[in-house]
Structure 1
Amino acid sequence: MSFEGKRLVVVGGGSGIARRIAVDARDAGAEVTVAGRNPARFAESGVRTAFADLTEESSLKALAEEAGEVDYLVALASAPANGPVTTLERDAVTRAFDAKVIGPLLLAKHFAPRFREGGAAVLFSGVAAWRPAPERTVMATTNGAVAFLAAALAVDLAPIRVNAVSPGIVDSGAWDRLGDAKDALFRRTAEANPARRVGTVEDVSAATLHLLLNPFVTGTVLHVDGGGRLA
């Protein structure tokens, strides 16, 4: 099981997780393309970049055509629509489903004919599906849908393998917007979950690459949450 000579496309996500996956796969010998609405942010990562908008099927079709034959696909975009149900805007809810569910489904549509033998895809769910919280209804629902989508695609696209990663609280840079409150959140998280720490981008990347390479794992969700869903 090796990434040498393999071709990987990583779609969506401007966080440190996408960057870590791309760099780790590249360092392991893969030819990596990172695609998103702002691919320039990955220019310094030493990987190929391409444009993709998960709300526009035409761009996903174009991405697949540009990529040609591939071995692996990772989809990890998100567009959270958080807040009380009574204040939710339909457009925000639709964007959330486009990023986590509809977009990845359309990626599967256009990439499925292009997978080489032994190909695999990884979608991204999240711990909110297993631990719903107030004002996180859309997040919990979209992440839950990803788990079912991965299982359904694993059957529908077999022998292409399809799995999902479900991260918990991860120090990916996404929480930096909280300022000083970030440290307090991480401390509470570490105290509550069985692993007694928050996750790192390296943790999530390692899990993702494992799912891509392991030829006997498909249709499953790998929880990378320190046991947070159990706390």
Structure 2
Amino acid sequence: MSPRTIVVVGGTSGIGLELARDIVAHGDSVIITGRDAARTAEIAASIGERATGVALDISEPAGIAASLAGIGRIDGLVLAAIERDANTIRDYDIDRATRLTVLKLVGYPAVVHALLDRMENSADTGIVLFGGRAKDMPYPGSTTVSTINGGVEGLTVTLALELAPIRVNALHPGIIGDSPFWAGKPAAVLDGYRSRTPSGELATMADIVDATQFLLRNRGITGTSTYVDRGSRLT
């Protein structure tokens, strides 16, 4: 297969950055996005010459098309931009809830809309949307996160139908033990989550990267939600 160009929205840190590095390591090119132009360009340069950076804030969807105007033909798109949130109903913060809802449920489809004319109308083209296991494994304060990740699943199936033969799939990570967010948690906290998986181990960023690459490339999969959580839903 000839070299491909993949856009990773939210590719300046965490899983998005690990994915961008893996894309380049496999001989493809990557375009990463982040809110700060200078930082995004610096991180792209650190990945290598096949990486470029674009400043983009998908929580402000009115500016998405203009921000992405300079991107040429692409072969795949990963929407990995997320924000952490703890927002209970009893102490409901409307501004925070609105920002996070807009980021995924308006920002994600707005990016697809803006880049659609640069994607080949083929099953070789893959789009991956990041949700999360909070959609069906809620926790105190996950009101907004659980709701929007459920919305990502709905968005996935409607886009898969509307954009066919382009493939659209969702990836829902569980607790990622070596991610920047989770790696620094107290050992007792991580051990508690490990005890809920059949193997006694947590998913890793490498697991997420591998699953994302699979969904980008496999022509037989569309309209699906893939769970990468070491089977925590089974216990």
Runs of 4+ aligned structure 1 residues displaced above 6 Å come to none
* Structure in which a larger fraction of residues adopt strand: 1
RMSD after superposition: 1.6
Look up the match of 1:125: 131
Is residue 74 of structure 1 aligned with residue 81 of structure 2? no
- Report what 2:43 is aligned to: 42
Q: Deviations over 1:109-137 (max 9, x none)?
A: 11122112321110001111111122111
The answer to whether 1:7 aligns with 2:5 is: yes
Residue of structure 2 aligned with 1:101, choices 99, 105, 118: 105
1:162 match: secondary structure: strand
Q: Distance in 1 between matches of 2:43 and 2:233?
A: 32
**How do residues 1-231 of structure 1 correspond to structure 2 at under 5 angstroms?**
2=1, 4-12=2-10, 14-38=12-36, 39-40=40-41, 42-43=43-44, 44-46=46-48, 47-116=51-120, 117=122, 118-170=124-176, 171-176=178-183, 178=185, 181=186, 183-231=187-235
CA, structure 1 residues 58+84, in 2 after alignment: closer, same or farther (shift >3 Å)? closer
More deviation, 187-196/146-155: 187-196
Contact 1:15 1:174 in 2 (8 A): no
Q: Judge conservation of contact 1:71–1:120 (CA < 8 Å) in 2.
A: yes
CA distance in 1, matches of 2:165, 2:74: 15
SS state at 2:195 partner:
helix
**What TM-score does the superposition give when structure 2 sets the normalisation length?**
0.90
Q: Helix, strand or coil: the match of 2:27?
A: coil
Contact 2:169–2:215 (Cα < 8 Å) also in 1: yes
Q: CA deviation at 1:177?
A: 5.4
Q: Among the aligned pairs, what percent are the same residue? A: 34
Structure 2 alignment gaps of length 5 or more: none
Q: Which amino acid aligns with 2:173?
A: P
8 A contact 1:7–1:70 mirrored in 2:
yes
Q: Secondary structure at the match of 1:65?
A: coil
| Comparing 63-72 and 199-208, the one that deviates more | 63-72
